[in-house]
A and B are shown apart, each in its own frame.
Chain A
Amino acid sequence: MDSLGSKQTVLQVEKLSCIRDDRILFEGLDFKLTNHQVLLLEGKNGSGKTSLLRIICGFREQDAGDIYWGGDKIKDSNYYAEMAYVGHLDGVKKELTVLENLKMSLSLGQQGVYRIDEALDKVHLSGYDDSLVQSLSAGQKRRLSLARLLITKNTLWVLDEPFTSIDKQGIKLIESLMHEHIVAGGMIILTSHHDLDLHEVDVQKINLSLCH
């Protein structure tokens, strides 16, 4: 089952606080995420979901607290080799082709479970290899940035609103990819306004509107 390595890895967040413009978004946030688990962040707009994800990615400095990966602080661990992030920005270049974009992501990371053509097939973009990304629709771009998760080696997926601009069929597709990742021993942190439909998966929920 554990194709991502049998070693248990844990993402642990301790007493995390985030203050923005004199407003406390959340404080004293604790949680623990381990293999085969999903963490769904909920909360109303402006409750700090994206801020929390950006702190977990290391883009933003937390105002208090620590984040540990496998027992070490994330800066001292191999965290960045084992995580992948898809945020509001797709992180693909519109002047490059689908294939060129994925090859670039691959050279920034390490070869993962799927080859590029397999991943494109998975996200229903096969045949678009040589299309420029600027000719893709918003939903297709989104699926392309999710294909990045499949081709690189990673345990933790950090997804900020992965279902934005994706149709019903696409949502099912992403849920099945997430399910597959979790079953294989991965972990996922995501924000979403859409109810998750994941069977037999351990989903933790944290509502940030209540974390003051």
Chain B
Amino acid sequence: MSAFFAVIRRDLILAFRRRAEIANPLFFFILVVTLFPLGVGANPKLLQAMAPGVIWVSALLAVMLSLDSLFRSDFDDGSLEQMLLSSHPLTVLVMAKIIAHWLVTGLPLLVVAPLLAIFLGLPEQALGTLLLTLVLATPVLSLIGSIGVSLTVGLRRGGMIISLLVLPLYVPVLIFASNAVEMAGNGLAVDAQINILVAIFFMSAVLAPLPAAAALKMSVN
């Protein structure tokens, strides 16, 4: 257990020392969302209708861009080898890394997303649901993404392949999350979507670290 918290702590310190790198996904998220009104025109009705989808697609891309940093530097400097050799189960250490990754990339999105939602004219009654879907589903993005990165971390140019591997797996999250926000905006009940997101969250929390750890073992050889 001490190793679990030590890994989280170490990754948070590292993130703090590489602030610029960590801020990139957040700025990317803000930029992409602000590009839409410029591209499709400032029609309030149109923007309001598009808001859930725009915010969610941008969040998804922002998280995906940050995925490579999850294991890259550990792979390059040999820290990953040392983790593999520790007597602690690798899945636990991988889980710690995923949590740290979410804290530095997913959590900031939660803070900015409501502001961007207001900017796009999302109805106030949908803000709570938007936050709830982000709380439930951004960890899922980090979890599922960890499988993709651990498979590609051994390849020198893995960037493009990660998106091909991971984006299709993000589709269910995107569908249920943006649909929930949209329905909440229309004043409808969203229990079903939220329940499914909760299920996806728990399933990926339990299942994702296992293949990620196995793939890391394969990548280091």
9 contacts between A and B (CB under 8 A): A87-B78, A90-B77, A91-B77, A92-B78, A92-B79, A93-B14, A96-B10, A107-B3, A108-B86
Residue of A nearest to B16 (CB): A95
The residues in A between 83 and 125 inclusive whose CB is less than 8 angstroms from any CB of B are: 83-85, 87-96, 100, 103-105, 107-110
Q: Using known A-B contacts A93-B73, A107-B6, determine if residue A85 contacts B13 with beta carbons closer than 8 Å.
A: no
- With a cutoff of 8 Å between Cβ atoms, the chain A residues found around residue B85 in the complex are 57-58, 80, 83-85
Q: Using known A-B contacts A96-B10, A96-B13, A107-B2, determine if residue A91 contacts B79 with beta carbons closer than 8 Å.
A: yes
For the complex, give the distance between the alpha carbons of A60 and B84 in Å. 12
For the complex, give the distance between the alpha carbons of A93 and B81 in Å. 12
- With a cutoff of 8 Å between Cβ atoms, the chain B residues found around residue A110 in the complex are 87
- With a cutoff of 8 Å between Cβ atoms, the chain A residues found around residue B220 in the complex are 59
Convert B111-147 into 0s and 1s, putting 1 for each residue whose CB lies closer than 8 angstroms to a CB of A.
0000000000000000000000000000000000000
By a beta-carbon cutoff of 8 Å, the part of chain A in contact with chain B is 54, 57-61, 78, 80-81, 83-85, 87-96, 100, 103-105, 107-110, 148
For the complex, give the distance between the alpha carbons of A87 and B83 in Å. 13
- With a cutoff of 8 Å between Cβ atoms, the chain A residues found around residue B7 in the complex are 104
A104 near B10 with CB under 8 A, answer: yes
- With a cutoff of 8 Å between Cβ atoms, the chain B residues found around residue A96 in the complex are 10, 13-14, 17
Q: Is the interface of B mostly helix, strand, loop or mixed?
A: helix
Give min CB distance, B5 to chain A, whole Å. 8
B87 near A92 with CB under 8 A, answer: no
- With a cutoff of 8 Å between Cβ atoms, the chain B residues found around residue A58 in the complex are 84-85
Query: For the complex, is B43 an interface residue (Cβ under 8 Å from A)?
Result: no
Q: Using known A-B contacts A60-B221, A78-B87, A95-B18, determine if residue A108 contacts B82 with beta carbons closer than 8 Å.
A: yes
Q: Using known A-B contacts A78-B87, A83-B85, determine if residue A95 contacts B14 with beta carbons closer than 8 Å.
A: yes
Query: For the complex, is B88 an interface residue (Cβ under 8 Å from A)?
Result: yes
A109 near B77 with CB under 8 A, answer: no
B6 near A104 with CB under 8 A, answer: yes
A95 near B88 with CB under 8 A, answer: no
For the complex, give the distance between the alpha carbons of A54 and B82 in Å. 12
The 3 nearest A-B residue pairs measured at CB:
A89-B78, A107-B6, A91-B78
A81 near B87 with CB under 8 A, answer: yes
For the complex, give the distance between the alpha carbons of A80 and B79 in Å. 16
For the complex, give the distance between the alpha carbons of A93 and B10 in Å. 10
